[in-house]
Amino acid sequence: MSSLLSGLTKLQSVESRLRAAKAKLARCRRSVVVQENRIRTEQNALEAKKEEVQLTKLQSDRLELELRSRDAEIAKLRAALNGAKTNKEYASLLTLLNTNKADNSKLETQILELMRDVETDQAECDKIVATMDEQKAQLDKVRHDAEVASVKLEEEVTAMQAEWDDAARDIPAEFLETFNRVADTYDGEAVVEVDTQHSSKTSSYSCGGCFMSVTAECVNQLMTRDEIVRCSNCTRILVLSKS
Ligand SMILES: [Zn+2]
């Protein structure tokens, strides 16, 4: 392979490794943020649950107050019942008394249910706190691991960047610019091989990046000249496969 195209092919190989190493470094740094986000999510869930508990308790307190005032009412009605002067008065007081008692029994049931809800939610809160404690302990480990791994990955990226600069040195600026632009468009894949399909009579060619067909003229140009040929569909730089 001629020198410009072989240079670009070499640069492509370094570019792919450099991008992979940079992505690994970014993932490594992100792992701490991911873990911090997990803890924040639990923290939000805990706050929401606590608020729920608070509201349920308030509601329960309100019902408790109502229950007490009705109890006082019942006591008053009982006293009045004893002092009733007529059967009619007695009957109406008794009805009132029974209505209050029935209402109170309903209130008691409601209060019990609310207290059960509070218990369930409290248990839920305890569970969230336990999960958060685990995740906080993990965060320290994740942070430590990420710091250690980052140092190593940064060294790798620096070394690969030097290799990249080296590979790019002999490539003319205008072609390097094309390479970088296409690499940015296709996540680092600027140079692709032409795929060849042989049939009994003819050979057909396609772009190894987008799989659209490549003309025989293009292939001929690649075989005979050391020039950049780009896929007419995706604009990637085409090279012939070494085999
Ligand atoms: Zn293409």
Q: Is residue 182 part of a domain?
A: yes
Q: How many whole angstroms from 182 Cα to the centroid of ligand 1?
A: 11
* pLDDT for residue 56: 97
Q: What is the pLDDT of residues 124-152, one digit of tens each?
A: 999 999 999 999 999 999 999 999 999 99
Residue with tokens 């009412």: 73
**Rounded mean pLDDT, 80-98:** 94
Q: How many whole angstroms from 68 Cα to the centroid of ligand 1?
A: 81
Q: Is residue 228 part of a domain?
A: yes
Q: How many whole angstroms from 26 Cα to the centroid of ligand 1?
A: 29
Tell whether the model's pLDDT for residue 242 goes beyond 80: no
Question: In total, how many domains does the chain have?
Answer: 2
Q: How many whole angstroms from 180 Cα to the centroid of ligand 1?
A: 16
* pLDDT for residue 1: 44
* pLDDT for residue 200: 83
**Rounded mean pLDDT, 197-217:** 93
* pLDDT for residue 243: 62
**Rounded mean pLDDT, 109-132:** 97
Residues 140, 187 within the same domain: no
Q: How many whole angstroms from 240 Cα to the centroid of ligand 1?
A: 13
Q: Which two tokens stand for residue 229?
A: 């040929």
Q: Please, what is the average pLDDT of the chain?
A: 95
Q: How many whole angstroms from 211 Cα to the centroid of ligand 1?
A: 6
Residues 157, 231 within the same domain: no
97 lies in which domain range? 13-168
Q: How many whole angstroms from 166 Cα to the centroid of ligand 1?
A: 27
Q: Is residue 77 part of a domain?
A: yes
**Rounded mean pLDDT, 12-28:** 96
Residues 39, 128 within the same domain: yes
pLDDT more than 90, % of the chain: 94
pLDDT confidence tier of residue 3, bands split at 50, 70 and 90: confident
**Rounded mean pLDDT, 147-167:** 96
Residues 55, 144 within the same domain: yes
Asked which of 141, 168, 195 is the last residue of a domain, the reply is 168
Asked which of 142, 168, 194 is the last residue of a domain, the reply is 168
Q: How many whole angstroms from 126 Cα to the centroid of ligand 1?
A: 57
Tell whether the model's pLDDT for residue 47 goes beyond 80: yes
Q: How many whole angstroms from 61 Cα to the centroid of ligand 1?
A: 71
72-109 burial string, b = 16+ CB within 10 Å, else e? eebeebeeeeeeeeeeeeeeebeeebeebeeebeebee
Q: How many whole angstroms from 192 Cα to the centroid of ligand 1?
A: 8
Q: Is residue 8 part of a domain?
A: no
Q: How many whole angstroms from 228 Cα to the centroid of ligand 1?
A: 14
Q: How many whole angstroms from 210 Cα to the centroid of ligand 1?
A: 4
**Rounded mean pLDDT, 91-115:** 96
190, burial (CB in 10 Å: exposed 0-12, middle 13-18, buried 19+): buried
